């Protein structure tokens, strides 16, 4: 496709296409064609992302009362959010605690999904030889996505509960005398459910990077006397980096904004950045909710910027 585009845009560029030039004279300038091609996506992006985002930022600086937005400048959404942050030092204020908890959950989920996702992708890319099996097995990974993520999440509850399958199984085996309480409505269950839901988002991009690694590079490493571990660290991981970063971006952005999984699996007792926004919206305090959304966006953006500092995705793709 790209070659075709190039040909149309500047026929002289590709050797042997000089004859085409005579037959089909260029009428539109190449840059115009480029803009035309990017245009539809850009418009969608503008209408459904940038403009709404601009509204969120604007509303976050409005004032509000019980029943309406007051469209004059006010930093109340922000000052309320950071209420008590200075007074309570050295103890953390609500927003500080909430973000610390969200980041902790996010880090755990990221590390575990990366570990599992990497090895699943590794298995698919290097151990499964036939293309058909590769295809078949990766499709198998998508089966859980045939049901909604709410159902996949709720399915854990009867398993992990006080009288759930895991607890009754352990008790029957005589391993424990009392049901284990931390299995459900705890950080453990939140992380478990999030890992279950989102590992696939790691598998796909990493797998995609791995299958594009030239097999002769691995053979070369082997010929040069590298051990399996050395090949992994020096050849495969560096070449899978774009996949790792893209997968990480997926997982981190989803987990940072999540409030449903954290709510249900954490028994509504665990704070999350998304949860604050939800409570504010429900109380019709839209500017405060918008301010929190802006804060969340900035923090998520910082994390992603840091990650793309480590790997230049644009260059790698």
Among residues 19, 31, 177, 216, the one that binds another protein under rule CB under 8 A? 31
Please give the size of the binding site for another protein, defined by CB under 8 A.
Answer: 64
Among residues 19, 132, 163, 305, the one that binds another protein under rule CB under 8 A? 163
Alpha-carbon Rg for the chain in angstroms: 26
Q: How far is the CB of 279 from another protein (least distance, A)?
A: 5
Among residues 187, 232, 250, 299, the one that binds another protein under rule CB under 8 A? 250
Euclidean distance between CA atoms 178 and 199, whole angstroms? 32
Q: Are 137 and 127 in contact (CB under 8 A)?
A: no
CB atoms within 10 A of CB 253: 17
Q: Does position 45 bind another protein by CB under 8 A?
A: yes
Euclidean distance between CA atoms 8 and 31, whole angstroms? 12
Strand partners, 64: 69
Q: Does position 208 bind another protein by CB under 8 A?
A: no
Among residues 117, 161, 243, 247, the one that binds another protein under rule CB under 8 A? 161
Q: Does position 13 bind another protein by CB under 8 A?
A: yes
Residue closer to another protein (CB basis): 132 or 269: 269
Q: Does position 42 bind another protein by CB under 8 A?
A: yes
Q: Does position 127 bind another protein by CB under 8 A?
A: no
Euclidean distance between CA atoms 120 and 200, whole angstroms? 9
Q: Does position 279 bind another protein by CB under 8 A?
A: yes
Among residues 48, 55, 115, 133, the one that binds another protein under rule CB under 8 A? 48
Euclidean distance between CA atoms 46 and 61, whole angstroms? 22
Among residues 108, 114, 128, 157, the one that binds another protein under rule CB under 8 A? 157
Q: Does position 249 bind another protein by CB under 8 A?
A: yes
Q: Does position 34 bind another protein by CB under 8 A?
A: yes
Euclidean distance between CA atoms 305 and 251, whole angstroms? 15
Contacts with another protein, residue ranges (CB under 8 A): 2, 5-6, 9-10, 12-13, 30-31, 34-35, 37-38, 41-42, 45, 48-49, 66-68, 80, 83, 94, 97-98, 101, 157-158, 161-164, 181, 184-185, 246, 249-250, 253-254, 257, 263-264, 266-271, 275-276, 279-285, 297, 300, 313-314, 317
């Amino acid at each position: 496709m790209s070659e075709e585009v190039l040909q149309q845009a500047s026929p002289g560029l590709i050797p042997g296409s000089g004859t085409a030039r005579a037959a089909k004279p260029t009428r539109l300038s190449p840059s115009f064609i480029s803009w035309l091609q990017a245009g539809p996506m850009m418009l969608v992006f503008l209408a459904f992302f940038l403009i709404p985002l601009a509204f969120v930022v604007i509303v976050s600086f409005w004032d509000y009362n019980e029943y309406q937005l007051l469209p004059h400048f006010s930093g109340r959404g922000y000052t309320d959010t950071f209420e008590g942050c200075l007074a309570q030092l050295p103890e953390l204020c609500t927003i500080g605690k909430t973000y610390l908890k969200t980041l902790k959950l996010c880090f755990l989920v990221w590390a575990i999904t990366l570990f599992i996702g990497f090895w699943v992708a590794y298995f698919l890319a290097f151990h499964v030889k036939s293309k058909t099996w590769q295809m078949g097995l990766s499709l198998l990974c998508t089966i859980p996505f045939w049901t909604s993520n709410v159902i996949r999440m709720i399915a854990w509850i009867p398993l992990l509960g006080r009288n759930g399958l895991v607890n009754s199984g352990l008790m029957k085996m005589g391993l424990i005398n009392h049901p284990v309480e931390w299995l459900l409505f705890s950080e453990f269950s939140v992380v478990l459910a999030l890992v279950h839901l989102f590992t696939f988002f790691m598998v796909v991009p990493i797998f995609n990077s791995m299958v594009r690694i030239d097999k002769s590079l691995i053979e070369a490493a082997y010929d040069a006397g590298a051990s399996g571990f050395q090949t992994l660290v020096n050849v495969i991981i560096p070449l899978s980096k774009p996949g790792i970063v893209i997968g990480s971006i997926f997982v981190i952005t989803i987990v940072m904004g999540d409030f449903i999984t954290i709510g249900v699996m954490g028994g509504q007792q665990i704070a999350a950045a998304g949860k604050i926004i939800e409570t504010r919206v429900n109380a019709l305090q839209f500017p405060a909710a918008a301010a929190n959304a802006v804060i969340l966006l900035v923090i998520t953006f910082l994390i992603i910027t840091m990650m793309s500092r480590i790997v230049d995705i644009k260059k790698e793709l």
